[in-house]
Structure 1
Amino acid sequence: MRLNRRGFLGGMGAAALALSLPATALATTRQRAVRTAGTTLDTVAMPLGDSGYRRLTAGPGWPLLVREDLGTGSPGRDDRRTPLASFVQFTDLHLVDAQSPARFEYLHPLAGAGAHRVQETLSALGASSLVQRVNSLASGPYTGRPFDFVVATGDNTDNHELVELDWMMSVLNGGTITPNTGDLSRFEGVQNSGSKLFWNPESPLLDRYKQAGFPQVPGFLAAATRPFTAPGLRTPWYSTFGNHDDSVEGTLPANIALLDKLYTGGVKIEGMDDSAAERLATALAEGDLVTAIAVLTANIGSVREVTADPRRKPFTPAQYIAAHLDPANTGPGPVGHGYRDTGTAYYSFQVAPGVLGISLDSTNPAGWAEGSLSTRQLTWLEGLLKSVSSRYYDADGHLVRGGSGDQHVLIFSHHTSGSMTNLLPDPARPWEGRHSGAELVALLQRFPNVLAWVNGHTHVNRITAHGHEVPERSFWEINTASHCDYPQHARVIELVDNRDGTVSLFTTLIESAAGYRTDFGDLSQAGLAALYRELSFNDLHASATRLGTAPDHNTELILPTPTTVRP
C-alpha cells in the first residue's frame, strides 16, 4: 500500500491514521484529485472533548490510500488514465416512521441500534441533506466525470411501510415530505412517552439519554415532523432491495397476521418487563419466530393508544417494484430505476459504454436479517456474466473462450459476502436452493471482467480484496457505512483505465451537506440535518468500528485489466 493525496494534516487525524497503517505505507506524494471540496478528502466530522455528549466540528480530511493488494500501478498513470464511470453509492438510508406501532423500540437496551436510534425522527431530513451534497458535487473528485448515476443499495426504508416508501421516493426525486403519521397535530412515538428508556427531547425528565448528557430541545418533535421540501437528485438513480424493505424491522418474516394488524392499528407497545423483553430479544436474534410471537401475544406490557393510519400498511416486494415503475416516481430517471415489470427484484443496467451494472436481490423471503441468493437468481447471474465475457473460467478452473467482447462488470447488492448466510428456503418456493456469499464470491471469481461488488447492510466502512492465485480472477468488495448510524457516509466511486494494463477504482467517502456545528435553538431544516449527524455520533448504541480504518476510506483500488492479463 502507498499513501497519497494530501499530507498528514496534523493532530488527531494523523495519529489515528498512523495507528491503522504499516510504517511502509506512510509516504505522501503530490495532490492527485481534481477537487476535494465537499468530500472527506477535505474535511471530516470530528468530535470535541473526550466524554459525555460531544459536539462535532470540522476535522482534517483523510488522504488517499493506494491499495495494491490485487494489482500494481505504474508511475505516471494519472496523466494517462481515462475515466470510464463515476457514481455515488447510498446505502441503509432507513427512512423511519418513528411513530409506527409495529416497532420494538423498548428492546433497544438489549438489541441495540436496530431497535431504536435516538436520531431516527430526523431520517428524512438527514437523507435529503445527503442528496444536497451529491447535487453540489455533481462529479467525481479524481476524474471530474459527471456522475453517471446514484445507487441506493437497500434498506431504503426501515420497516417496509407504504408511507416510508413514499418518503423514499420524495427524498430521491424531490417534493414535499411530511415526516409524520397518525395524528398530524401531535407526536405519538416513544420520544414523548415519558419513559426513561428513551430520549424525551422536549421534557425535563432525566431519562437515560439526558443522564448521558443529551440536551433538552424544546420544539424538537414539532419541528422534526413538520412538512419540508426535499430537493431531489439531479442524477439518475437505481434501487436495490434490502431486508428492511422486505421484513418487519428487517427481521421477522412478512405476512404474520398479528404484526400486520399492529402496523395500521391504534395500539403501540412502548415497554415490556425485563424478563419478557430478554426472551423476545433472544428470539429475534436466534430467528425463533414461535417464541417471538408467543412473547408478543402474552406480554403486551406498557401500551399507548395512538391514531391508526392505513399508510403504515407494509408493502410487498411487488408493490416496491411497482412504485419504482410508476411514472409519477420517475424523477431524474430512468423509468423504473432499474426494475422491469418481470416480478423479480434483480436486474442489469448499462452504467456507461463498456460498463455493466448488476443489481442483485440478496434478501431471503423467509425473513431474518441475513441474506442469500436463490438458485434461479444465481443461474440468471451466471448466464448474464457469460454473455458479456469473451473469456471466463468454468467451475473446474478451465479457461473458456466466450463471445467477441468484454464489458467491465460492477455488482450491487444489499448484503455482503459475509452476511449472506441465511439459507432458509423461500416459503413460496420451498424446493429451491439458497446460496451463500461464499458461493457468490466463487462465481464472480470465474469472470475476470468483474471488478467490484458494492454493498451495504453491515453499517460499516470496509473494503475487502478477494484475491485469487490467478490474478485476473480477483475483485474488490466495497462495503459502505449506513446513512442512519454514524458516520452517516455515502461513497463516490470512479472507475478509470490506467492504460498500463490496470484499472483503478477510486473510492471517496462523503458526508451530508449539513454543517458540523449544531445549535439546539436552530430548528430549521439545515439545523435539524446537522443535529441528525450529531445525535447519531452520541447515540448510546454508536460504535467506533462502523467508521472503518484508512484502508476502508478514501482509496485507489488497483486491478489488472481483464483483457490484457493472461493466466
Structure 2
Amino acid sequence: MSRIRSVATVPALNRRTLLAATGAVSLSAGVGFALRPDAPAHAATTSQEPVADSLAHTGARSTAVRPPAPAALVPYTRGTTLQSVAAPRSGSTGYRRLGDGRGWTRILRDELAAAKSGRADRRTTLAAFVQLTDLHLIDAQHPLRLEYLRARNKSAWRPQETLTVAGAVSLVERVNSLRGAPVTGSPLHFVMTTGDNTDNNSKTELDWFLKVMSGGRITPNSGDPRHYEGVQASGLKTYWQPDAALRDADKQLGFPRLPGFLEAAIREVRSPGLKLPWYSTVGNHDALPLGCYGSRGDSYLTDFAVGGKKLMSLPDAECTALAKSIKDGSSPKGTVFRDLLKSHARQMRSVTPDENRAPFTPAEYLRAHLDPAHTGPGPIGHGYSSANLAAGTQYYTFRIAEDVIGVSLDTTDPGGHYEGSIGTAQLRWLERTLRENKDSYVVVFSHHTSKTMRNRHADPAHPAEKRHGGDEVVALLASFANVLAWVNGHTHKNEIIPHAGPGNRSFWEICTASHVDFPQLARVIELVDNKDGTLSLFTTLVESAAPHATDFSDLSQTGLAALYRELSFNAPGARTDLSGASRDRNTELVLKKG
C-alpha cells in the first residue's frame, strides 16, 4: 500500500478570504485562486458563513491549517467497476434487462515510460480526485429541443432524457459513498465536472445542476407545474409513450408500458449534494443554445425558448437538412434553425410558457456558481471568481496539493458549433501559467478533447482574435515537463491517449464517458510518485449508486435512477462502443518524472 503524503488542506472561506484570493493576489484576470509561491492553497471550503459587502480586507492573507493526517485507508474494489458493471442478463433479447456483470480489470499502460518492479511499496500519493463529465441535465420539455430529428436518426432523441436529474443524484450518492481512492487509499480531495453540465443552455437546467452538486430539492419539470407536456405525452409513435397503450416505435422493440412514469419523472427529487469540494468546467451545451448555436442576442430564439409553442414532428427531408447544417457548422448562429421554426409555426403544439427556460449568458453562469446558495462544500464559485466576471473569462487555475495545480480551460467557441477551440489570449495565459508554476505538477481540465478542437469560428466579442485547435494545445502541453494529464469529456466515450514530447516531456490525455449515455460512468484519478524516476496515474471508473437490476413497479427516486441506466442501454440507435477498450477504462498510466 502506498504512503500518503500530506496535501494542502483548506481554510474556511468567507467573504474576507475570498476577496483576498480573487482580488488581491490573482495571477491574472482569468485565474480563480492565486498560485504565487507564497500564497496558500485554496482547494475547498466547508464554510457557510454569511458574506459581508465590505472590501476593507482585500489585503488580508489566509493560511492553510493542517489537521493531523487521516489514517490510511486500504485499497478496495467495492462500488467500482473493478468489482462489477451493469450488463444484460443472459438470454435476454429485444428490450434487455440489466443485472450484475463481471468487473473490468486494471490494465498497465507503459507507452510513455517503463514500469519498474517494487513501485507499489515505494509510491507516495500526490493527489486523488473524481471526474464527472457530460451530465447533460435536460429540461426534456424545452421548446427548442430537436427531438423530431429522431425521424431520421434514432439516437437524436433518447427515451431516458426525462430522468437525467434522478440519474445525476444517484451518481452524487455513489461519489459520496467511496472510501477514498481505490488504489492508494488516499482521501479524495475534490470533484471536477468537465462540462456539458446542462443540455439546452437553459436556466432551469443550470438551477438543477447546481442543486444536484451542492444539495437541494429539485422538481425536474418546467411549463405546467401539474403535467408533463413533452413528446412522451404527444401520442406520436416516433417516441416512447410510457403511460399510454399506444404501440409506439419503441414498444415495438420491447420497451415497457409504465403507467405513472411521467408523473413520477417530474416529481421532486432530493440531492444530498457532494460531500467533497467540487469544481466546474464549461462545455458547449453550457455556453451555446442546443450546444451548437452562437446566437447570443437573437431575440427570436430567446422568445421561442420561453414561449408557448413546441415543434414535435418534422418531414424527413427537413430533418436531414437541419442535421447536416448542425454537423458541418454551416449555420453557426442558428439562422437555418430559426427559419425552419418560422416556417412550421402552424404545425406547432401549444405548451405552457416558462420564463425560466431562457438561455443563460456566460456572466449568469458565473454568478450562479458564485451564489452562496450553491456553495455546498465549496469552494465559493467552484473555481470561478469575481476576476472571471470582471474579465468575461471562464478559465482559471487552482491549487490541488502542495506541488500539484489544476487548470480549467474554456474550450467552447462563442462563434458557434459543437466542436471547440481557444482564443490566443487564453492560449498565452495557459503558457504563462505553466511557466510560472514549473515547480508544480499540472493537471489540465477541459470539456473538449484534442481531437474535437477543430472549430475556427470567430468569437463575436473578439472577431480579430485567432482561434487555436487541439493540436496546438497538445504541442504546448508537451513542451512542459510538469504536465501530467489532460482530463476531458465531450465525446461520451472512454479513451486514453499517450502524448509524447521531447525528452521526458509527455502526458496522458484522459477522456471519460458521459453520464447521459450508457454506460453512464465517472472516473477516479490518483496521482502517485513511484520514487524511481516515474509517476503513475491510476484511473478507476464508477457507476451511479442505483442498482443494476430494475423493477418496473418501482418509480421511486432510486427506482427511476436504475431505470435511467437501463433505458440508456436499450435506447434505439445508441452506440455500443462508448465504454472504450479495456485500456481506456481502469488503468495504471506510467510517466517519466520530469
TM-score of the aligned structures, taking structure 1 as reference length: 0.89
1:429 aligns with 2:462: yes
Aligned to 2:433: 384
How far apart are the structure 1 equivalents of 2:194 and 2:154? 22
| TM-aligned CA deviation for residue 166 of structure 1 | 0.6
Q: Is the 8 A contact 2:152 2:316 kept in 1?
A: no
Helix, strand or coil for the counterpart of 1:45?
Answer: strand
How many residues in Structure 1 have an aligned counterpart in Structure 2? 513
Helix, strand or coil for the counterpart of 2:447?
Answer: coil
Q: Is the 8 A contact 1:111 1:281 kept in 2?
A: no
Aligned to 1:492: 524
1:419 aligns with 2:468: no
How far apart are the structure 1 equivalents of 2:350 and 2:266? 19
Q: Write the mapping of 1:94-133 to structure 2, written as runs, cut at 5 A.
A: 94-111=136-153, 113=155, 115-133=156-174
| TM-aligned CA deviation for residue 277 of structure 1 | 2.0
1:88-113 CA-partner distances (Å, limit 9, x unpaired): 00000000000111111111243553
Q: Aligned letter for 2:489? A: G
Q: Write the mapping of 1:49-64 to structure 2, written as runs, cut at 5 A.
A: 49=91, 51-64=93-106
Q: Is the 8 A contact 1:284 1:292 kept in 2?
A: no
1:46 aligns with 2:87: yes
Aligned to 1:544: 576
How far apart are the structure 1 equivalents of 2:226 and 2:458? 44
Instruction: Specify which of 342, 364, 370 is matched with residue 297 of structure 1.
Output: 342
Instruction: Specify which of 464, 471, 476 is matched with residue 443 of structure 1.
Output: 476
Aligned to 2:276: 235
Helix, strand or coil for the counterpart of 1:86?
Answer: strand
Helix, strand or coil for the counterpart of 2:311?
Answer: strand
How far apart are the structure 1 equivalents of 2:254 and 2:153? 22
1:215-266 CA-partner distances (Å, limit 9, x unpaired): 0001001001101211110000000000000112111223222211111000
Aligned to 1:309: 354
Instruction: Specify which of 408, 411, 416 is matched with residue 367 of structure 1.
Output: 416
Helix, strand or coil for the counterpart of 1:291?
Answer: helix
Helix, strand or coil for the counterpart of 2:87?
Answer: strand
1:262-285 CA-partner distances (Å, limit 9, x unpaired): 110000111112222222222222
Q: Write the mapping of 1:252-401 to structure 2, written as runs, cut at 5 A.
A: 252-255=293-296, 256-289=298-331, 290-300=335-345, 302-341=347-386, 342=388, 343-389=392-438
Q: Is the 8 A contact 1:358 1:412 kept in 2?
A: yes
How far apart are the structure 1 equivalents of 2:491 and 2:166? 22
Aligned to 1:467: 500
Instruction: Specify which of 150, 153, 170 is matched with residue 211 of structure 2.
Output: 170
| TM-aligned CA deviation for residue 287 of structure 1 | 1.9
Aligned to 2:540: 508
Please, which runs of 5 or more residues in structure 2 have no aligned partner? 1-72
| TM-aligned CA deviation for residue 50 of structure 1 | 5.5
Helix, strand or coil for the counterpart of 1:263?
Answer: helix
How far apart are the structure 2 equivalents of 1:51 and 1:244? 35
Instruction: Specify which of 86, 101, 108 is matched with residue 66 of structure 1.
Output: 108
Please, which runs of 5 or more residues in structure 1 have no aligned partner? 1-31, 390-405, 563-567
Instruction: Specify which of 50, 75, 99 is matched with residue 117 of structure 2.
Output: 75
| TM-aligned CA deviation for residue 288 of structure 1 | 2.7
Q: Is the 8 A contact 2:524 2:539 kept in 1?
A: yes
Q: Is the 8 A contact 2:165 2:269 kept in 1?
A: no
| RMSD of Structure 2 on Structure 1 (CA) | 1.3
1:420-442 CA-partner distances (Å, limit 9, x unpaired): 00011101110000000000000
| TM-aligned CA deviation for residue 149 of structure 1 | 0.4
| TM-aligned CA deviation for residue 51 of structure 1 | 3.2
TM-score of the aligned structures, taking structure 2 as reference length: 0.85
Helix, strand or coil for the counterpart of 1:472?
Answer: coil
| TM-aligned CA deviation for residue 327 of structure 1 | 1.2
| TM-aligned CA deviation for residue 353 of structure 1 | 1.3
Instruction: Specify which of 117, 129, 135 is matched with residue 93 of structure 1.
Output: 135
Q: Aligned letter for 1:92? A: D
How far apart are the structure 1 equivalents of 2:75 and 2:313? 53
How far apart are the structure 2 equivalents of 1:56 and 1:96? 24
Helix, strand or coil for the counterpart of 1:453?
Answer: strand
| TM-aligned CA deviation for residue 295 of structure 1 | 2.3
Q: Is the 8 A contact 1:246 1:254 kept in 2?
A: no
| TM-aligned CA deviation for residue 143 of structure 1 | 1.0
| TM-aligned CA deviation for residue 541 of structure 1 | 2.5
Q: Is the 8 A contact 1:187 1:221 kept in 2?
A: yes
How far apart are the structure 2 equivalents of 1:71 and 1:308? 58
1:376-423 CA-partner distances (Å, limit 9, x unpaired): 00000001111011xxxxxxxxxxxxxxxx101000000000000001
Q: Aligned letter for 2:560? A: L
Q: Is the 8 A contact 2:131 2:191 kept in 1?
A: yes
Q: Is the 8 A contact 1:54 1:538 kept in 2?
A: yes
| TM-aligned CA deviation for residue 33 of structure 1 | 7.4
Instruction: Specify which of 206, 230, 233 is matched with residue 189 of structure 1.
Output: 230
Aligned to 1:395: none
Q: Aligned letter for 1:516? A: H
